[in-house]
Structure 1
Amino acid sequence: MSDAGSSAGPLFDDGKADGAMRTIGEVSAAFGIKPHVLRYWEQQFPSLKPLKRSGGRRLYRSEDIAMVTTIDRLVNKEGYTLKGARKAIASGKADSANSEQRQGAAVTQAETAAMLSPDAPARQPGLEVTQQLRAIRDRLAAALD
């Protein structure tokens, strides 16, 4: 989460600056998460607090996008429950897991950007399975240490 500015940049291919605020629709499209799920996550994770403009319009800052990235990784890729993900984030374990993945055979930012770009082909199910297996392998290796 400390590298929020750098992690927010490659996820979006919309011509905006890396630190630009993005609407809930833009974040939803980039991550493949429905807007109502993002709104629910705001209730469940106190650290996810996008700015709200008049009429309730949400604007996600780079630190909010970094938090969505972490929550998405924990819940949708590593299999945490929302309660477990909340505990991991609160205890700081989510950051250490993220750094362990960066050191291991994790998906690169370029691969992530390619998957999330608007002109990218349909999701590759084999790649998602590979990511999940790598995350499981990393967790098992960490447990043995």
Structure 2
Amino acid sequence: MAEPTRKSDQAFRTIGELANELGVPQHILRYWETRFPQLKPLQRAGNRRYYRTADVALAHRIHRLLNADGYTIRGVQQLLAGGAADDAPTPSPATPTASAAAAGPAFPAQELRALRETLRAALDG
């Protein structure tokens, strides 16, 4: 059985391909387009979306910030609006930049649980 042909990293992606790549439903990508003006895929006839290489990289970055780094939508909006370069290291939510601090804390659940246990032990002891 022949293996499916893999697209070049420079090739445009459809919304379905990008959604599969990120592991999110297509409606999430459409929602992100409304929240992040930097994410602007080409739209052809019938509103068919084609994501360029830069759009794919931005979608991966947004996904990582929201799902792995624990940022809120507002926090990611402020990071992107602050002109943070795509290749710049992403600040840790535990040490937010001034623009991210305005969005409020965005700690991953594991860190919050550890902090809660530390506080509980301090109050009990």
TM (normalized to structure 2)? 0.65
The alpha-carbon distance between structure 1 residues 95 and 86, as it changes in their structure 2 partners (threshold 3 A), is farther
Opposite residue 89 of structure 2, the aligned amino acid is: A
Instruction: Show the counterpart of 1:61.
Output: 52
| Contact persistence 2:58–2:86 (CA under 8 A) | no
Instruction: Show the counterpart of 1:71.
Output: 62
SS in 1 for 2:7: coil
The alpha-carbon distance between structure 1 residues 96 and 47, as it changes in their structure 2 partners (threshold 3 A), is same
CA distance in 2, matches of 1:40, 1:14: 29
Aligned-residue CA RMSD (Å): 2.5
Aligned-pair identity in percent equals 43
Gaps of 5+ in 2: 93-107, 112-125
The CA deviation string for residues 87-127 of structure 1, in whole angstroms up to 9 with x for no partner, is 011211775334x79xxxxxxxxxxxxxxxxxxxxxxxxxx
Q: Which structure has the larger Rg over C-alpha atoms?
A: 2
| Higher relative contact order, structure no. (Cα contacts within 8 Å, ≥ 6 residues apart) | 1
Gaps of 5+ in 1: 1-12, 102-131, 137-145
Residues 1:34 and 2:18 are matched in the alignment: no
Correspondences of 1:60-139 after superposition (within 5 Å): 60-91=51-82, 92=84, 95-98=87-90
The alpha-carbon distance between structure 1 residues 40 and 14, as it changes in their structure 2 partners (threshold 3 A), is farther
The structure with the largest helix share of the pair is 1
TM (normalized to structure 1)? 0.56
CA distance in 2, matches of 1:23, 1:94: 22
Instruction: Show the counterpart of 1:20.
Output: 11
